[in-house]
Chains A and B, each alone.
Chain A
Amino acid sequence: MTKETHSLSNRRPATRWVARFRLFIHYGDRPWNTLTISMSVLTILLVLAIGILLWRDSAGSRAVSGLNFIKPTSDASWNPVSGEFQAWPFIYGTLVTSLFSLVLAVPISLGVAIFLAELCPEWLRAPLGGIFELLAAIPSVIYGLWGIFVFLPNMVEPVGKFLGSILGQIPVLNVIFRGPIPASGASLLAAAFILSIMITPTITAITRDVFLAIPVSQREASLALGSTRWETIWKVLIPYGLSGILGAVILGLGRALGETMAVTMVVGNSIGGSLSLLKPGYTMSSIIANEFAEAVSPLHTQALLEVGLILFIMTLLLNILARLLVWRVGRGNVQGARA
């Protein structure tokens, strides 16, 4: 198309400056394309650069601690003074809170998504969906503040007491439900509860989009065979959209792993080494949030950067997996996951 522009100038004799200007317009595409392509490459480079920089800057800690850093132990030490760093308690805290939050959030999100996509009246769908997106938009610190002063004393503490008194008696479960829960309610359980509230909108939104992307013919065929609505949902729609739903769950998990502020405010921040959900603990993101700005020795900084590196790799792998699963169903309008 640019050639035509050039040949147009043959019709009217142009002055030198006009010719130069036309030449500039003619070749303007090259800088424009370079610009758009380089900006596109920049976004990919950003992801790579995060990994590379974290890897490079945690070199000292990786050399000193080696595999001991992530080895599961019951008496891990995290001592900036003596320079001993073992991150297992944080990894455990992150994993256990995220997985437990999934246990709570997945059934609820699935239920809400089914209601929004299949069961609720048409006119209610858009406003309800919008309201759930607002739930995802509330900043993490506000969840934390509300958690400390409202949710923990009124909800987590009684529930924790109840769980401790019931499940704390059962032989295997009493390892993770050994009470009593502290009076403030700050514990791994509290973090898991807050996380489940925060990831519910994420999982719901993607699952709803997955349901809405399923062709109507699937529903009609199932209903025509005489199934009830619920049988259609349970035996046709969920198997059809399973990979997308799985992707949504994994994205939720990724968000739960990286969530920082709200968790730091309610998790209790103690390296106790207790496996119990009802005890205060620490997560990978909260140790970084609490100690990084105050870290004095280079080794301490590097150890925290290594914790960050592990967290980054975990979320990166989960994200790649989840996106591949969701993309298979069709690229839904995924609300950006906040962490």
Chain B
Amino acid sequence: MSSETNVWLGASTKQLIQSRTGYRRRKFTNTVMSTITALFTLAALSVLFWIIIYVLIKGFQYLNLDFFIHLPRPLGISGGGVLNAIEGTIILTILASLFAIIPGILAAYYVAYNPNTPLGIAVRFGTDVLSGVPSIIIGLFCYALIVKYQGHYSALAGSVALAILMLPTIIRTTEEMIKLVPHTLREGSLALGSPEWKTAISVSLPAASQGIITGILLGIARASGETAPLLFTALGNDNYEVGKIITAGLANHKGIFAILGSIVTQPVDSLPLTLWKYAQQPYPERINQSWAAALVLMILVLSLNIFTRVWVQVRANRMQGK
């Protein structure tokens, strides 16, 4: 009897609740909206794959050995490459890393251990704001700061601009990584009597070193793809070849610093800069080369990104003991 009532009651309340609360309609909305979010995700993914696959196909079509080992040649003469841009990219990235890494790590060390002091808050905020400043504005800044006084465009000005772009990435990643180092390690070192600076150099920073390298690689990935800050700092240089500069310097019996100086104070080209210039020219030859440059650039940037992310994941898993 009682079970019968329950069944009867259950059925009716279920119907009642379903009709009063619009259960069908609500369930329908739920399904439709969930599907829409999934479709949006699919759409965004398909754009990404559209770009990557198109660049891969076009790039491999026009990539050849000449691309890597020759300077640009005049139109109509085959066999030209972008050696100047590749060497320029390497020089710019190395210089920018030199400028950015040490200040970045030191600032991150301060922020990691003093996050709530006025200066710590200001630095965290300043870093976030700096990462939002458009890269072209940083280019203008370096023009006003360096090019104007030097009187000519140079690799130095370009690399300072790239260093400013790398700085927020390095500071933020390093800060997070130093925070992950167990406090016991640092306290153990301090308890043994070593001063703060020695603890930092021989305990805290080495323990976070892999993470710091990750941050540096991400910074390099970001900087090596940038064009806008180089437009009026590094400018571009079709005849830039490090080998030639060195042999010319040795022939004139210059010192090593004079040679390094002449490498650094010339205008240089970089891959993204070349890509930009070539893409705007009406000659198919140049446009093909810009697809090849896009491929090289994309592989460089994406592999740096994928490598660092996988590395971080593996490390995190190992730390959790998986």
Contacts and interface: CB of A to CB of B under 8 A. Distances in A.
5 contacts: A2-B195, A25-B198, A141-B272, A288-B140, A308-B140
Interface stretch (B30-38, B80-88, B237-245): B30-38
Given A319-B132, A323-B125, A228 B26 contact: yes
Contact of B110 (A40, A133, A142): A40
Give the dominant DSSP class at A's interface. Answer: helix
Interface in B258-314: 272, 275-276, 279-280, 287, 290-291, 294, 297-298, 301-302, 305-306, 309, 313
A10 to B, nearest CB: 13
Interface size bucket, A side? Answer: 35 or more
Contacts of A119: 34, 37-38
Nearest to A114: B37
Interface of A: 1-2, 4-5, 8, 25-26, 28-29, 31-33, 35-37, 39-44, 46-47, 49-50, 53-54, 56-57, 107-108, 111-112, 114-116, 119-120, 126, 128, 130-135, 137-146, 148-150, 197, 200, 204, 226, 228-231, 234, 251, 254-255, 257-261, 265, 285, 288-289, 292-293, 304-305, 308, 311-312, 315-316, 318-320, 322-323, 331, 333-334, 336-339
B283 to A, nearest CB: 14
A338 B305 CA distance: 14
B134 A111 contact: no
Given A40-B110, A338-B135, 15 more contacts: A1-B190, A2-B196, A5-B195, A43-B123, A43-B127, A56-B144, A150-B50, A228-B29, A234-B33, A251-B132, A259-B134, A323-B132, A336-B169, A337-B131, A339-B132
Nearest to B102: A39
Contacts of B36: 111
Contacts of A44: 122-123, 126
Nearest to B126: A44
**Main SS at interface, chain B:** helix
Contacts of B228: 140, 260-261, 285, 289, 339
B44 interface: yes
B41 to A, nearest CB: 5
Contacts of A115: 34, 37-38, 40-41
Contacts of A8: 193
Contacts of B124: 331
Interface of B: 21, 26-27, 29-30, 33-34, 36-41, 43-45, 47-48, 50-52, 54-55, 102-104, 106-107, 109-111, 119-120, 122-138, 140-141, 143-145, 148, 164, 167-169, 171-172, 176, 190-191, 193-198, 200, 221-222, 225-228, 231-232, 235, 272, 275-276, 279-280, 287, 290-291, 294, 297-298, 301-302, 305-306, 309, 313
B276 A311 contact: no
Given A138-B51, A140-B227, A323-B129, A305 B144 contact: yes
Contacts of B301: 137-139
A11 to B, nearest CB: 12
A119 B294 CA distance: 35
A312 B137 contact: yes
Contacts of B172: 336
B130 A47 contact: yes
Contacts of B226: 139-140, 338
A42 B133 contact: no
Contacts of B51: 138, 142-143, 146
Residue picked from A33, A54, A137, A143, most chain B C-beta under 10 Å: A137
B102 to A, nearest CB: 8
Contacts of B235: 293
A311 B107 contact: no
Contacts of B141: 49-50, 53-54
A331 B120 CA distance: 14
